[in-house]
Amino acid sequence: MSLAVEVEDLTYKFAQLNEPVLENITLKIPWNTRTLLVGSNGAGKSTLLKLLSGKHLCLNGKILVNGLDPFSPLSMHQNEADECQTTTYLGTEWCHMSIINRDIGVLELLNSIGFEHFRERGEALIDIFDVNLDWRMHRLSDGQKRRVQLTMGLLKPWRVLLLDEVTVDLDVVARSRLLSFLERETRTRRCSVVYATHIFDGLANWPDKVIHICHGKIVQSLDYEKNVVFDKDIEGVIQNGTTTNVGYVKSLHPLALAWLSQDEGK
């Protein structure tokens, strides 16, 4: 299987709308890559990710994830020879799962989804998100709940991870560790990540591909290594043939990261 995701001429319309929310989307995402989806509110990012995860049925066009139609039972039932599920979709609805507000211990929660089976991976995630197994869910802050949730969501290995802005509650250290974890995953085993976000801090060196979606269409697709150059001497963005020169921005992100990393070492 040569591609993680292959989409050909996908057009998608919600039954109650007159116009399609995605139009003529064609996309090829290789294995071992990290793709960012960039677009305004309502551009169609979540709809695309949901189609890739099999949450909506695609009637017009072709979608293959790990070589399979995401809506087919074959794709949904894990291949026994493969410990990985085809896709993991972590999005807004997933964030609102009711269990995270119950009076339940973190260890109990993790055990209920196979922590013992994925022990090594689970311990790595606990470390990354600084999760305490003695915590009780109903007593946690929003960000702490999200850390436990992400530990749960990422516990089972996936072939394609579809992340729909689930990092908004995370502090800069947790987000930075999550990004490093995903980078490590995509470098060390056959998998890929597609991440829709509005937060670009700490992402400068992260993606392989950046896709701009506008009103349901892919209007730009940058191969990061080939097409993007960071340029100290410019402000904003200058298009130079196939090269996109991006100016450096002043950001407090490094300061917050340094301060919060020091806090962790206390």
Ligand X SMILES: Nc1ncnc2c1ncn2[C@@H]1O[C@H](COP(=O)(O)OP(=O)(O)OP(=O)(O)O)[C@@H](O)[C@H]1O
Residues that bind ligand X (CB under 6 A): 14, 16-17, 21, 39, 41-47
Tell which residue, 159, 179, 195, has the closest CA to residue 45.
195
CB of 16 to ligand X, least distance (A): 6
CB of 82 to ligand X, least distance (A): 29
CB of 167 to ligand X, least distance (A): 13
Pick 21 or 107: Cβ nearer ligand X? 21
* H helix runs in the chain, sequence order: 45-53, 73-76, 92-95, 106-111, 119-128, 142-155, 172-188, 224-227, 253-265
Pick 52 or 222: Cβ nearer ligand X? 52
CB of 57 to ligand X, least distance (A): 13
Tell which residue, 127, 192, 203, 138, has the closest CA to residue 167.
203
Within 10 angstroms of residue 37's Cβ, the number of other Cβ atoms is 26
User: Distance between CA 164 and CA 56 in Å, rounded?
Assistant: 15
Pick 45 or 253: Cβ nearer ligand X? 45
Pick 47 or 151: Cβ nearer ligand X? 47
Pick 93 or 130: Cβ nearer ligand X? 93
User: Distance between CA 97 and CA 92 in Å, rounded?
Assistant: 9
User: Distance between CA 159 and CA 215 in Å, rounded?
Assistant: 28
* 209 neighbors 33 (Cβ within 8 angstroms): yes
* 150 neighbors 177 (Cβ within 8 angstroms): no
Pick 16 or 205: Cβ nearer ligand X? 16
CB of 21 to ligand X, least distance (A): 4
CB of 213 to ligand X, least distance (A): 7
